[in-house]
């Protein structure tokens, strides 16, 4: 049977007025074009509750007791990777039978939502401490110092769902640790400073320490000169084994390059990661059909990066360091 339309408040009040004027339920129904039973129900409600307003409905009883809600909330708070099936089984052992959608709805009312776990670098305690040390040491560095840093780097997914509140995306319990690895159809070496993008070089063979040192020898100083870097500029690269090899360190020392000591597993602090992401977006929009076209588009898009973008990116360093300290050395939103 189709659901009848709810009477307006004016109509309900009119029924009560006519009833108080001495009219019968049949007469009121005929006058207002309503069923006698509808008129009678409104009058009985008015006599019982002294109002014609709709009363709050109790609805169906909760499938999960308050104690059960506390139990599953406590479980996912301790282990956000708990699945709905696990929670269904936990409640079943407590003699409460529910479905997976009921679990989702209940946790959503507690401010918890099922989300894909964010993939972040694996941080061991030594990495966390190194990140904190780096952030505290450089937090008060003047902006001019960062403007004189030249930043260089080389550039089957699965998801895991976690239960978390809105602002807990980067809590260590709500992330999946990853270890950086090489690969891809096109390897590039590039860098930038606050003055703009530097050279971008395609690496055609498998990268090793000797090749990396050759790239530095042939490109680092000319790139710095092209960007008109000030005297005493600082070179930054990450802690890839090729970068930290004794031969590489000796090569940089002989050429009198200042190197910024860098905390491992810290892509959120490495500004060039942002430029790589932007480059990937621009390249994917053009859909290159082969390696040659891919290389050409990469070079073109890299050269188009405005100096203002690089300058504004460098200005975010202090915010990034502050976030590392606030997050106790763990990964940040950057």
Backbone angles phi, psi at 274, to 5 degrees: -65, -45
Q: For residues 155 and 162, give the distance between their C-alpha atoms in angstroms, rounded to a whole number.
A: 29
Backbone angles phi, psi at 59, to 5 degrees: 70, -175
Q: For residues 131 and 128, give the distance between their C-alpha atoms in angstroms, rounded to a whole number.
A: 5
Look at residue 258 and give its three-state secondary structure: strand
291 or 182, higher pLDDT = 291
Q: Are strands 113-116 and 161-164 parallel, antiparallel or unpaired?
A: antiparallel
Lowest mean pLDDT among 67-71, 180-184, 256-260: 180-184
Residue 150 is predicted with a pLDDT of 57
Q: For residues 188 and 299, give the distance between their C-alpha atoms in angstroms, rounded to a whole number.
A: 10
Lowest mean pLDDT among 48-57, 121-130, 273-282: 48-57
Residue 78 is predicted with a pLDDT of 85
Q: For residues 185 and 204, give the distance between their C-alpha atoms in angstroms, rounded to a whole number.
A: 10
Run of H or E including 222: helix 209-226
**Quick check: 87 pLDDT over 70?**
yes
223: exposed, middle or buried (Cβ count in 10 Å: 0-12, 13-18, 19+): buried
Look at residue 238 and give its three-state secondary structure: coil
Residue 247 is predicted with a pLDDT of 92
Residue 192 is predicted with a pLDDT of 87
User: What is the percent of the chain where pLDDT is above 90?
Assistant: 7
Rg from Cα positions in the chain: 33
**Quick check: 3 pLDDT over 60?**
no
User: What is the percent of the chain where pLDDT is above 70?
Assistant: 85
Nearest by Cα to 307 from 196, 150, 183, 142: 196
Residue 170 is predicted with a pLDDT of 46
Mean pLDDT is highest, among 139-153, 163-177, 233-247, for: 233-247
pTM over 0.85: no
Lowest mean pLDDT among 71-80, 86-95, 117-126, 171-180: 171-180
Q: What is the pLDDT of residues 270-298, one digit of tens each?
A: 888 888 888 888 888 888 888 888 888 88
Residue 172 is predicted with a pLDDT of 47
The token pair at 127 is 């990495």
Q: For residues 98 and 65, give the distance between their C-alpha atoms in angstroms, rounded to a whole number.
A: 11
Torsion of Cα atoms, 190 then 188 then 124 then 249, to 10°: -60
């Amino acid at each position: 049977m189709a659901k009848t339309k709810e009477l307006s408040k004016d109509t309900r009040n009119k029924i009560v007025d006519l009833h108080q004027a001495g009219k019968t339920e049949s007469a009121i129904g005929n006058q207002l074009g309503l069923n006698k039973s509808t008129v009678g129900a409104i009058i009985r409600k008015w006599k019982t509750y002294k109002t014609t307003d709709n009363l709050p409905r109790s609805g169906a009883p909760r499938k999960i007791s308050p104690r059960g809600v506390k139990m599953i909330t406590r479980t996912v708070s301790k282990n956000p990777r708990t699945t709905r099936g696990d929670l269904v089984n936990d409640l079943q052992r407590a003699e409460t039978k529910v479905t997976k959608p009921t679990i989702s709805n209940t946790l959503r009312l507690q401010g918890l939502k099922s989300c894909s776990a964010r993939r972040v670098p694996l941080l061991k305690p030594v990495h966390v401490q190194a990140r904190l040390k780096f952030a505290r040491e450089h937090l008060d560095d003047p902006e001019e110092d960062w403007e004189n840093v030249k930043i260089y780097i080389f550039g089957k997914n699965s998801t895991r769902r976690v239960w978390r509140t809105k602002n807990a995306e980067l809590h260590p319990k709500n992330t999946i640790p990853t270890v950086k690895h090489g690969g891809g159809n096109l390897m590039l070496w590039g860098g930038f400073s606050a003055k703009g993008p530097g050279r971008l070089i395609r690496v055609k063979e498998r990268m090793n320490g000797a090749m990396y040192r050759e790239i530095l020898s042939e490109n680092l100083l000319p790139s710095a000169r092209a960007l008109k870097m000030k005297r005493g500029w600082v070179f930054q690269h990450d802690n890839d084994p090729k970068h930290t090899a004794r031969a590489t360190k000796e090569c940089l020392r002989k050429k009198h390059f200042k190197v910024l000591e860098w905390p491992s597993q810290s892509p959120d602090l490495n500004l060039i990661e942002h430029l790589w992401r932007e480059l990937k977006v621009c390249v994917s929009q053009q859909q290159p059909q082969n390696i040659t076209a891919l290389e050409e588009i990469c070079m073109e898009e890299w050269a188009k990066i405005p100096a203002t973008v690089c300058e504004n990116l460098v200005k975010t360093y202090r915010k990034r360091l502050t976030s590392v300290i606030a997050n106790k050395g763990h990964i940040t939103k950057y």
